[in-house]
């Protein structure tokens, strides 16, 4: 979405009393995700074509030939594209575009450099992730300074402790940044980040914000160095440093002490990937449980009736949640194992365990030595599995 059109769109939304977009990238992404194509058609989107995937009856020797054919056919291609005879010319082109990025009329975060000859592209081939005949030259990230107001610690689904810096809100590349992940304790120590410090932040790839460094010149009267807690709210065991995982502190059990006896087993699942694990609605149920709502009570009545009493749950959404939980019971052992949040057990290891043992009870009763004998498991993963099922609050 061109910047000028983006500004017009936001003015129109403001006048209509509807929320505005943070930046052109978000506005364009939101436009193409609309379910109603008429809404997309009203958004001021533009497009540069840069590739011909298939052209029966046409033969191109180079990428540049394909671009010229697109232009001749009336399609819009980027007028700043250049054909460079040497690597020095490539570098000079990239540097020019970076200098001119603010005058392009649209947001850009880099340049794609490609081998021109299509036969050479074919011979170079691709990995499962990217072509070997193209590479991205990223522009330098935008930066801003702000203040660390607080450092909080969150517990992930595998028990890993992740510190997060709460910042004084600051605008950076069209987005207001309030929080950044500090990743782990070693990262905090390496950069010596403390509450009250003024820090330099940037967005990696103009997307993910992170702390570059502390602005030491402005860090007078510094607070004590941060140490991650040895006890975490809602967790009965002390935190520990996971063997073999640099910088990662973890708690060796689920974050929640499970709901009261009699609650459906599915409600004890506290996290999971919505695409491959039992279902996103489990996460919502666990989230409301973390907010102190009534999932800990026994479900003496219909489960849907009980859930419907929770805040922000209407009858229909309660029925949908219970239906999703029921459906998740039939989705297989591997997906359940992946969703349980066992440290080091992801999708692939979950599939290995399900294929080898076939039952959650069998896995829970299997010794560390037996688990480690399974090809693809190993000692460290076996220890994590045994420790998970040995935790007193884990109910099966």
The domain limits of the chain are 3-138, 143-218, 251-389
pLDDT one-digit tens code per residue, 55-104? 888 889 999 999 999 999 999 999 999 999 999 999 999 999 999 998 99
Contacts of range 203-208, beta carbons closer than 8 Å, 24 or more positions apart: 203/141, 203/142, 203/172, 203/173, 203/175, 203/177, 204/141, 205/109, 205/138, 205/141, 206/25, 206/107, 206/109, 206/141, 206/142, 206/173
pLDDT of residue 116: 97
> Tokens 């840069």 belong to which residue?
50
Three-class secondary structure of residue 304 per DSSP: helix
The answer to whether residues 307 and 313 touch, using CB atoms and an 8 Å cutoff, is yes
The CATH number of domain 3-138, selected from 3.40.50.620, 3.10.20.30, 3.30.470.30, 1.10.240.10: 3.30.470.30
* Alpha carbon separation from 123 to 64, 126, 143 (Å, rounded): 18, 9, 40
Q: What is 251-389's CATH superfamily?
A: 5' to 3' exonuclease, C-terminal subdomain (1.10.150.20)
- At the second CATH level, the architecture of 143-218 is Beta Barrel (2.40)
Separation of alpha carbons 286 and 62, rounded Å: 54
CA 1 to chain CA centroid, Å, is 24
pLDDT above 90: residue 285: no
The mean pLDDT of 295-320, rounded to a whole number, is: 61
Q: How confident is the model at residue 25 (pLDDT cuts 50, 70, 90)?
A: confident
Tokens representing 228 are 């991650």
Across 16-25, 161-170, 196-205, 301-310, least confident range: 301-310
Banded pLDDT at 232 (limits 50, 70, 90): low
Q: Would you state the torsion angle of the CA atoms of residues 29, 32, 35, 37, taken in this order, to the nearest 10 degrees?
A: 150
pLDDT of residue 252: 47
Most confident of 140-149, 201-210, 283-292: 140-149
Sign of the torsion angle spanned by Cα atoms 361, 365, 369, 370: negative
Per-residue pLDDT, 239 = 61
Closest residue by Cα to residue 157 from 388, 340, 395: 340
Return the bridge partners of 209, or none.
Answer: 203
Phi first, then psi: what are they for 293, rounded to 5°?
-85, -175
Integer Cα distance of 329 and 282 in angstroms: 12
Say if CB 215 and CB 148 are below 8 A apart.
no
Mean pLDDT of 203-227: 76
pTM of the predicted protein model: 0.51
pLDDT of residue 200: 94
Q: Are 166 and 149 in contact (CB under 8 A)?
A: yes
């Amino acid at each position: 979405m061109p910047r000028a059109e983006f500004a017009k769109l936001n003015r129109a939304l403001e006048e209509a009393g509807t929320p505005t977009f943070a930046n052109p990238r978000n506005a364009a992404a939101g436009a193409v995700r609309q379910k109603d194509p008429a809404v997309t058609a009203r958004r001021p989107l533009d497009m540069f074509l840069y590739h011909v995937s298939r052209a029966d009856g046409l033969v191109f020797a180079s990428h540049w030939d394909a671009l010229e054919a697109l232009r001749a056919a009336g399609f819009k291609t980027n007028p700043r594209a250049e054909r460079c005879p040497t690597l020095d010319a490539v570098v000079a082109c990239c540097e020019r575009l970076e200098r001119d990025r603010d005058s392009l009329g649209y947001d850009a975060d880099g340049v794609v450099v490609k081998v021109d000859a299509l036969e050479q592209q074919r011979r170079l081939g691709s990995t499962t992730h990217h072509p070997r005949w193209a590479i991205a030259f990223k522009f330098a990230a935008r930066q801003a300074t702000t203040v660390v107001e607080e450092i909080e610690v969150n517990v992930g689904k595998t028990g890993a402790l992740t510190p997060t810096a709460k910042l004084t809100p600051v605008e950076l590349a069209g987005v207001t940044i309030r929080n950044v992940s500090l990743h782990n304790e070693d990262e905090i120590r390496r950069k010596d980040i403390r509450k009250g410090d003024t820090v330099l932040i940037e967005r990696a790839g103009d997307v993910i914000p992170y702390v570059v460094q502390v602005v030491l010149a402005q860090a007078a009267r510094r607070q004590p160095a941060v140490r991650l807690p040895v006890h975490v709210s809602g967790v009965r065991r002390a935190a520990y440093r996971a063997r073999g995982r640099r910088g990662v502190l973890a708690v060796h059990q689920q974050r929640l002490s499970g709901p009261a006896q009699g609650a459906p087993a599915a409600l004890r699942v506290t996290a999971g990937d919505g695409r491959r694990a039992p279902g996103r609605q489990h996460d919502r149920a666990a989230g409301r449980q973390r907010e102190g709502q009534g999932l800990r009570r026994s479900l003496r009545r219909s489960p849907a009736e009980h859930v419907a009493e929770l805040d922000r749950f209407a009858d229909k959404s309660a029925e949908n949640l219970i239906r999703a939980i029921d459906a998740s019971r039939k989705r297989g052992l591997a997906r359940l194992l992946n969703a349980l949040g066992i440290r080091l057990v992801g999708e692939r290891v979950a599939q290995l365990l399900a294929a080898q043992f076939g039952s959650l009870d069998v896995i829970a009763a299997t010794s560390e030595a037996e688990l480690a004998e399974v090809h693809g498991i190993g000692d460290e993963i076996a220890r994590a599995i045994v420790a998970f099922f040995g935790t007193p609050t884990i109910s099966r």
